[in-house]
Amino acid sequence: MQQDRAKHVAIIMDGNGRWAKRRGLPRAVGHQRGVEAVRRLVRGIEPLGLDCLTLYAFSSENWKRPDEEVDDLMNLMRRFIKSDLPEFVENGVKLKIIGDWQSLAPDIVAMLEDALAQTAGGHQTLAVALNYGAQHEIARAAAKAAKAGEITPEAIEAQLDTGDLPPLDLLIRTSGEVRLSNFLLWQCAYAEMLFVDTLWPDFKPEHLAQALENFDARDRRYGGR
């Protein structure tokens, strides 16, 4: 069965802590290297023909981590937005945030709102999941659909945080773990999945290109024969 090339890929970026532990380094260094991996990937996606790349950056469950680690992650986010926003604008990257990001620290919310405004004219979408949990997303979408008077799969899907994004084609998780961790549960209904052993700080555009080749070789039947 002939299929189109993947247009929307999502990645669960896992393995920063293990990357650091294997090298005898603090977890904060692993997260810093993880940000560098994000930067490499965003710079390398345009030749791959993707319309949208969605990254799981901070889940609603990540608040359970030690306060020091959460603070490190939030500060990394601040630095990343400040340093990379001009490059996003220059390269036509349109930023989209999914999840309950507006409940983050006020200064981060203000930075994100500014980044969304500055990148609104971009042609290639980078969706970042912040304070995101798929179960809450589905519950919110269902409540909105019910309020509008129509509870159907189509109505719920339209109210998801990703309602204006292309259907998800491929989900990748790094680090060898084989679970979704409450990420894009609805959107993964017919997405292809790929679990790789590479730890996130070591993930490069070449790995994504290989994943897309793997996707191209799959036969997507959507329940048919």
88-102 residue pLDDT tens: 999 999 999 999 999
Domains of the chain: 8-132+167-216 (3.40.1180.10)
pLDDT tens digit sequence for 167-192? 999 999 999 999 999 999 999 999 99
- What would the 3-class secondary structure string for 192-219 be? EEEECCCCHHHCCHHHHHHHHHHHHCCC
Q: What is the pTM of this model?
A: 0.94
pLDDT tier at 2, thresholds 50, 70, 90: very low
Greatest alpha-carbon span in the chain: 56
Mean pLDDT of the chain: 94
Instruction: Output the DSSP codes for 84-111.
Output: HHHHHHHTTEEEEEESSGGGS-HHHHHH
Active site residue 62: yes
Q: What pLDDT sits at residue 217? A: 87
CA 141 to CA 68: how far, in whole Å?
33
Instruction: Given the residues 62, 91, 182, 214, select the one marked as catalytic.
Output: 62
Per-residue DSSP letter, 170? E
CA 86 to CA 80: how far, in whole Å?
11
Distances (CA, A) of 77 to 29, 70, 84, 145: 14, 11, 10, 32
Residue 61 has pLDDT above 80, yes or no: yes
Q: What pLDDT sits at residue 219? A: 73
Active site residue 131: no
pLDDT tens digit sequence for 191-215? 999 999 999 999 999 999 999 999 9
